[in-house]
Chain A
């Protein structure tokens, strides 16, 4: 019987992580959240080499997808089912390690309670995924690993800040932004032509309403995220730079490990698409963008309730046997859709048809 030391070691790592989260879960919503997150951070720091080895030698060489930019994978909603429809290797990007870094940097007191609840919920979802989908979905702090690489982390932050600054005509740095902007009017004055229509603030923002209204609605909706008394420029930076930096991290990590991001959030996907459009000359990017768009549509259109009637293990086998992915992409190709001309409107009807066939096969 051939041995697979790397896969066995990752499986063992997943079990250890599940045990650790189970042990820490009771305290995650309470005062000792900092020390609990610290332990999670230490866990990943200690096992970073193994995680990276797995990403480098298994994920990077397979048809791999990473569930990312979300706070957690909602097992109750059956997200693990829709996630498995594309690809052969699957990673859940665990944000818990990154939370530890956020808390260490200091967060507004208004956000602390929200974050604690989120952390506890994420940990609980992780435990469930580890227990129910172990071996099929590997939980790793995907984006954190890029930042753990000392030589890469400053470059990622620099790239994020550079992308933010590029929204403006005559602003040379983040410091320059804060020196020149205080109010929303200041920001509008310096934005590039038509840029106000491209900048989105919330999940349901479609860019059709006036820029000022959309921004102020978003600030109201997420009031707890901002420090009391902070300027509009600070709130704008926190919101927009947050999405941009997230996209930079996702793009950099996916390029590094040759995988496709599975992005459930519409706004995260839009920022990812916006940013990645500047890297079309990188050979893997056009295909990554196309597959990321299909993956996002799957999470929007898929009836996970129907899929989750089947036991997960059996479902995964069924997806492979029915060749859902192959048939979907050949149907799209037959319809003339390629990685250079795709749009959600063109993909959706074909995807729905294939999904219906899958439901029927269950």
Chain B
């Protein structure tokens, strides 16, 4: 299934709603009714049999077993293990005895890991196998769970077919409208998954099996037991996405870059030391340069901080373009920009002054900040504007200067890291557990095993855009500029 396009989503008050979620009355399944969490534990026993005997023989054996089950429990609508376990002891014993006559005892023995003597004595006694170690049983369950964890795999669909067959054909709770619908129940078990018809049958099985959910109430106690026992019994099997460390030597690029900024700095001091525009543009770009320098010097290419730096590089570049573009609309946009930033510093300073007991060791250097706030104008004349600069957020600024793509493709993504949003947390700070018994949960990446994809090529790309802008504004000797723009990043 292809992902829906952004344009297919419904955008209302800043929220994109997916096309499916936009359908009225469309609601998500409760956890206990989902395949993985709620139904897989109930039908794992079917999976074990199909796994043990293969699809064709397994389905034939299942036909025998569920037919017997329907005979001894005609009121049962679906072959859930929790419902079987709820049968009286003699019925259970008869059923398990029949199962053991159809399949080997070892087939369902792994389930004795969680269906134990104290709670489920009939089951535990029926399937106890002395020779089967705990780890063997555990391994079998994990292997089967891996194959049926996804609700649309062939193996899952086979299990769902057995459920559907029981629900429709045996218990008669689903009435088919025509002969074709009945035929597919007969054809499905004898056709191979590679058969063309199966491409139609499999979705039909899955959608029809969902009907069962409408009439069934999940057995929370059993689900709790299943997941609780299995998760305690098995270890996390963690894996991390570890993109290769970006160790590319870009010293040559950084030297060229240093030469360019050194030149621009000398140019400023020599030709225009009091020029507010040049002061602001070089100030912003030097801040970008220093952030990039930090990425390189401290090996942050694959880190969270690297993404933070990347975001700043983009924001700085967009802001520079915005200021240049809007210069004619303002009496002095360069001073406005400076005092907007200083005003925000004053606000922080005021909060520190007005709060008692601020830790003197905190990183806010109040004395120095006070000097900066009052550097060129008394703070009594500096207003504080807590809105966006020029009342435009960065997205609007990006659109205004023709950099919507830069914003849309990278800035928004990097903002998740800057603000600690879940996408970024998941990508950078959580490890995946490959154990289906743990429902593929995530665990904290305390030992820093995750290595993110390098920001280096993009950082260089945005830095070069920044330089192109400075070149357009002030002119950078081509010998210097070419050192940067002609730099070819070595292959990773």
In the complex the two chains form, is A9's CB within 8 Å of B271's CB? yes
Per-residue B-contact encoding for A222-240, CB less than 8 Å = 1, 0 else? 0000000000000000000
Per-residue A-contact encoding for B450-492, CB less than 8 Å = 1, 0 else? 0000000000000000000001111101111000000000000
A340 close to chain B: CB less than 8 A: no
Q: Of A49-57, A65-73, A260-268, A276-284, which stretch is located at the interface?
A: A49-57
In the complex the two chains form, is B477's CB within 8 Å of A5's CB? no
For residue B471, which residues in chain A have a CB less than 8 angstroms away from its CB?
A: 2
- Chain B residue with Cβ nearest A51: B270
Residue among B267, B269, B478, B479 with most chain A CB within 10 A: B267
Q: In angstroms, how far is the closest chain B Cβ from the Cβ of A64?
A: 12
A185 close to chain B: CB less than 8 A: no
- Contacting residue for A4 out of B263, B272, B475, B480, CB 8 A: B475
For residue A353, which residues in chain B have a CB less than 8 angstroms away from its CB?
A: none
Q: In terms of DSSP, what is the predominant structure of the interface of chain B?
A: helix
A3 close to chain B: CB less than 8 A: yes
A189 close to chain B: CB less than 8 A: no
A61 close to chain B: CB less than 8 A: yes
- Chain A residue with Cβ nearest B275: A5
B266 close to chain A: CB less than 8 A: yes
A26 to B461 CA separation, bound complex (whole angstroms): 57
A184 close to chain B: CB less than 8 A: no
Known: A49-B270, A53-B263, A53-B267. A6 touches B475 (CB 8 A): yes
Report the count of interface residues on A (CB-CB < 8 A).
Answer: 15
Q: In angstroms, how far is the closest chain A Cβ from the Cβ of B474?
A: 4
In the complex the two chains form, is B267's CB within 8 Å of A6's CB? yes
Q: Within residues 1 to 21 of chain A, which ones have a CB less than 8 A from any CB in chain B?
A: 2-9
A252 close to chain B: CB less than 8 A: no
A61 to B477 CA separation, bound complex (whole angstroms): 8
In the complex the two chains form, is A3's CB within 8 Å of B475's CB? yes
In the complex the two chains form, is B270's CB within 8 Å of A2's CB? no
- Contacting residue for B474 out of A3, A53, A61, A62, CB 8 A: A3
A275 close to chain B: CB less than 8 A: no
In the complex the two chains form, is B477's CB within 8 Å of A2's CB? no
A58 close to chain B: CB less than 8 A: yes
A8 to B267 CA separation, bound complex (whole angstroms): 11
In the complex the two chains form, is A49's CB within 8 Å of B480's CB? no
- Contacting residue for A2 out of B263, B472, B479, CB 8 A: B472
A5 to B473 CA separation, bound complex (whole angstroms): 8
Q: Within residues 47 to 106 of chain A, which ones have a CB less than 8 A from any CB in chain B?
A: 49-50, 53, 57-58, 61-62
For residue B479, which residues in chain A have a CB less than 8 angstroms away from its CB?
A: 57, 61-62
Known: A49-B269, A50-B270, A53-B270. A3 touches B477 (CB 8 A): no
Q: In angstroms, how far is the closest chain B Cβ from the Cβ of A5?
A: 4
In the complex the two chains form, is B475's CB within 8 Å of A5's CB? yes
Known: A57-B263, A57-B480, A61-B480. A50 touches B475 (CB 8 A): no
* Apart from A5-B475, A53-B267, 12 more pairs, CB < 8 Å: A3-B473, A5-B271, A5-B474, A6-B474, A6-B477, A7-B475, A9-B271, A49-B270, A50-B270, A50-B271, A58-B477, A62-B479
Q: In angstroms, how far is the closest chain A Cβ from the Cβ of B273?
A: 10
Q: Give me 11 A-to-B residue pairs in the complex whose CB atoms sit less than 8 angstroms apart, sorted by A's number.
A: A3-B472, A5-B272, A6-B267, A6-B474, A9-B270, A9-B271, A53-B270, A57-B480, A61-B477, A61-B479, A61-B480
Per-residue A-contact encoding for B255-293, CB less than 8 Å = 1, 0 else? 000000001001101111000000000000000000000
A280 to B474 CA separation, bound complex (whole angstroms): 38
Q: In angstroms, how far is the closest chain B Cβ from the Cβ of A257?
A: 13
For residue B473, which residues in chain A have a CB less than 8 angstroms away from its CB?
A: 3
For residue A5, which residues in chain B have a CB less than 8 angstroms away from its CB?
A: 267, 271-272, 474-475
Per-residue B-contact encoding for A290-324, CB less than 8 Å = 1, 0 else? 00000000000000000000000000000000000
In the complex the two chains form, is B266's CB within 8 Å of A2's CB? no
For residue B474, which residues in chain A have a CB less than 8 angstroms away from its CB?
A: 3-6
A170 to B212 CA separation, bound complex (whole angstroms): 114
Residue among A4, A5, A53 with most chain B CB within 10 A: A5
Residue among B266, B272, B477 with most chain A CB within 10 A: B477
For residue B480, which residues in chain A have a CB less than 8 angstroms away from its CB?
A: 57, 61
- Chain A residue with Cβ nearest B260: A57
In the complex the two chains form, is B266's CB within 8 Å of A49's CB? yes
A186 to B230 CA separation, bound complex (whole angstroms): 108
A35 to B473 CA separation, bound complex (whole angstroms): 40
A9 to B271 CA separation, bound complex (whole angstroms): 7
A7 to B471 CA separation, bound complex (whole angstroms): 13
- Chain B residue with Cβ nearest A5: B474
For residue A7, which residues in chain B have a CB less than 8 angstroms away from its CB?
A: 475
